[in-house]
Each structure stands twice: as structure tokens, then as C-alpha cells.
Structure 1
Amino acid sequence: MSAASTQPAIDGWFATDESGAPYLIGSKCHRCGTYVFPPRTNNCPNPTCDGDELAQVPLSRRGTLWSYTENRYPPPAPYPAPDPFEPFAIAAVQLADEGMIILGKVVEGTLAEHLKVGMEMELTTMPLYVDDDGVERVVYAWRIAR
């Protein structure tokens, strides 16, 4: 499939740099420096801050595996589940620089038995489904750091 027929499943959550490496797009409060993901433009999530202006910023590509689980049943609609369903791992990764924890699917073929709390993880992308127009929809995902 060509690059022109590949699009994010959700716009605005991640992008790629000049080298093609993906990065998450977060927001940072101008007043207190709190980060948030997915990105937003206002309403700081820090309950002790009354900041109402957030800037979009690239987030770290690497972090430490904070926790994980394995999804052993098909998720409900509208999430597209392959048939037959294959279990997949979900990782909670604490970003290296921001300290926030980002939840995401782990690349296909990586089950919970391959993961260990504290290991280094890195951001990547993976196909989620092909839409009715033949466009491959991709999501951000975690993989064990190389």
C-alpha cells in the first residue's frame, strides 16, 4: 500500500518527523508546565492550576514500561477487531522526559509474556484496519526499544 493510502485512525494524536519517525502530539500548560495527552488547547488538567492556554508540543518517543495487560477478548464496536481475533498487549509507558503515562497497544506479535515492568519502550505505528475507501488506518503503538 502506498504512503498516500495510509492515514491516522485518529487525526491530531501523532505525526512523523522528517526521518519518518513517529511522535505523539501532546499539550503543555503555559502556566504550570503540565503535559496532557491527547492534545487539547485549553483547560489545564492540573487541579491546582487555573491555566486555560495550552500549546501543542511533541512528546518523547521513548519511555519505561510502567504496567501492561493482555486483551484476550475482542473489543466492542466501533473498535475494529480482526476475525479471527488475536490477543494483544496494552502497555502503560511512562515517558522519559515528561513523566506522564501513555496507554497504547503494543505491536502485533508482542504478548504480555514478552514484557517486563521497567523495560524501555519506544513509539512506533501499526495498521489498525482498512476503511471502506481502501485507506489503511494506522495508530500509534509501543514496541520494546531496540
Structure 2
Amino acid sequence: MDDSTNKASLREPCVPGLFSEEGEPSLHGARCTCCDTPYFPRVAACRNPGCDESRIVPCTFGGEGRLWSYSVADFPPPPPHRYDKPFMPYAIGVVDLDSGLRVVGQMVDAVEFMQVGSRVRLVIEPIHHEDGRTFTSWKFKLLDR
């Protein structure tokens, strides 16, 4: 890795407003109070066709969940996605959080440890380093290891 990956670098979210790492890591989404449908990212109106009335309120999601499915990224993602070189394959998980949200995110652990049904926890981790800054995003870490 190059000099920009040092631990003294400034941490910045890859997309401001989608998540926070203050206290417990959390995703900033919404929930319809009429039908209880969760959304991430936030939406202006409920998209559930069975909902009689759209009442969207801000909601945060985090904590633990279960790995519902996963796929392996064996090749570098195209721009504008950035990553530290050299590229290392990683798992992308579909996670059912205990709070009811199903969300996609990169897995922290090595591909060989992935197992559908494993317990995971939301974490905020680096996705790439550039110009002395560490860009972060939400990811999931296995708890069953």
C-alpha cells in the first residue's frame, strides 16, 4: 500500500448522509409508519403497493442481522468506484438486519468464511485511501467466527 493508507488519515464517508459511525454504526433510512416498510436510503413516499397511506419518518438501522445471500466480486469494479490497489476479491452480502431492513453491503471477512445464515454486525470501514484521506462505507462483519 502507498503512504496515503496511514492510520493518521482523515476519515470521510464515501457518500455523506447515508450512514454514521458516531456511537453505534447506523444507516440513515426511513420507515412507513402505516405499513412498517423500511427503506434505505431514505425515500419521500412509501413504495409498498399494499400500503393504504404513505407516512414516512426518518429511521436509523444498524446492529446485527443474518447473512441472507452473498456473491463474490472477483474483478475490480468500474469507475467511479474506487478501491485500494492491488484489487483483492471480496464478498458482497445481502443482510437481513434484526430491525427488518434487507440491505446489500461489502463483507469485511475473507470470502472463504462466508456462509448463508451467519450472524453479522454492521460496521463502518475504509473502502479506499486517497490524498491522505480514508473514505469509509458501511460493511458487515461475521460474528460466528
TMscore range, shorter length: 0.7 to 0.9
Q: Is the 8 A contact 1:70 1:111 kept in 2?
A: no
Structure-2 residue corresponding to 1:45? 47
For 2:62, what is the secondary structure of its paired residue? Answer: coil
Structure-1 residue corresponding to 2:142? 144
Q: Structure 1 residue 8 and structure 2 residue 13: aligned?
A: yes
| CA root-mean-square deviation | 1.9
1:125-144 equivalent positions in 2, closer than 5 A: 125-132=124-131, 134-144=132-142
Higher relative contact order (CA 8 A, sep 6+): 2
Q: Give the TM-score, by structure 2 length.
A: 0.84
1:1-146 equivalent positions in 2, closer than 5 A: 1-2=7-8, 5-17=10-22, 20-40=23-43, 42-49=44-51, 51-98=53-100, 100-107=101-108, 110-132=109-131, 134-145=132-143
Shift of 1:112: 2.5
Tell me, which stretches of 5 or more residues in structure 1 are unaligned? none
Tell me, which stretches of 5 or more residues in structure 2 are unaligned? 1-6
Give the count of matched residue pairs: 138
For 1:59, what is the secondary structure of its paired residue? Answer: strand
For 1:79, what is the secondary structure of its paired residue? Answer: coil
1:24-47 per-residue CA deviation (whole Å, 9 max, x = no partner) reads: 12201132221111122x121212
Q: Give the TM-score, by structure 1 length.
A: 0.84
For 2:83, what is the secondary structure of its paired residue? Answer: coil
